[in-house]
Structures are given as C-alpha cells and as structure tokens.
Amino acid sequence: GAVVSQHPSRVICKSGTSVKIECRSLDFQATTMFWYRQFPKKSLMLMATSNEGSKATYEQGVEKDKFLINHASLTLSTLTVTSAHPEDSSFYICSATGETTTDTQYFGPGTRLTVL
C-alpha cells in the first residue's frame, strides 16, 4: 500500500515553455501532498505543501507564480513550472500523506526536468 506515482519521469523542454508534472496517490486518499526539489548530490528542499481543495502553502523563496500547484482531488496534485529556464532544471519529487498515515510521507519516483 501507500503507492505514489509521478508522471512524466523525465522531461526535456525548451526555455520559456511550461511543464506540468503530475503526482498521484494510487491506493490511498492523499489529504496532503508535498513538492520537493533536489539538486544533484543534495538533500531534498521542500517547495510547497498542498491540501486538497485549498491553495498551496509555499516555502520562503519559492516563487508562487513560477511553480503553480494544484491539488484538485484527493488523489492528484500537479506542479506546473511556468516559463521554464535552465536554472529550473532539477529533480522534482512529490510525496503524500493520507488520513490514516498523517505522519508518514510516501514519495513518488521523481521527475527529472531538463530545460534547454
């Protein structure tokens, strides 16, 4: 149980375009979803927290207009990187907690974004 998927696993895009990453909880209802960013050989940095049906809470320094997060249902959250630039290239990982597992985050497999 507690499986989280992400799509796509890898995406390459041109500078200035927008990219959408999906995060789904497959076998549980995700009351809260988290989006992290990880640079090579670094730890995970929390970008934002989202609860279903509410606006996301962004961490300090994360641009809300650049990283759009939507948590429209209890099984789906999306992260849209708008007007992507090469410095947005990174590994993006989502995680989710459920109603019965509020203290444990289960992570998706990650999405590697490369902006040319």
Partner 1 sequence: AQKVTQAQTEISVVEKEDVTLDCVYETRDTTYYLFWYKQPPSGELVFLIRRNSFDEQNEISGRYSWNFQKSTSSFNFTITASQVVDSAVYFCALNLGELTFGTGTRLTIIP
List interacting residues with partner 1 (CB under 8 A): 2, 34, 41-44, 46, 49, 91, 93, 95, 103-110, 112
Contacts of 87 (CB under 8 A, 6+ apart): 115
Q: Residue 111's closest CA among 3, 15, 14, 19?
A: 19
Minimum CB distance to partner 1 smaller for 14 or for 41: 41
Q: Is the peptide bond before 86 cis (omega within 30 degrees of 0)?
A: no
Q: Which is nearer to partner 1, 15 or 102 (CB)?
A: 102
**By C-beta, is 9 or 15 nearer to partner 1?**
9
Cα end-to-end distance, the chain, whole Å: 37
In the β-sheet with 67-73, what is the strand arrangement from edge to edge?
4-7, 19-25, 76-81, 67-73
Minimum distance, C-beta of residue 107 to partner 1, in the bound complex (Å): 4
Angle at 105 between CA 113 and CA 19, to 5 degrees: 20
Find the shortest distance in angstroms from Cβ 16 to partner 1: 26
Of 82 and 112, nearer to partner 1 (C-beta) is 112
Nearest approach, Cβ of residue 7 and partner 1 (Å): 13
CB of 98 to partner 1, least distance (A): 13
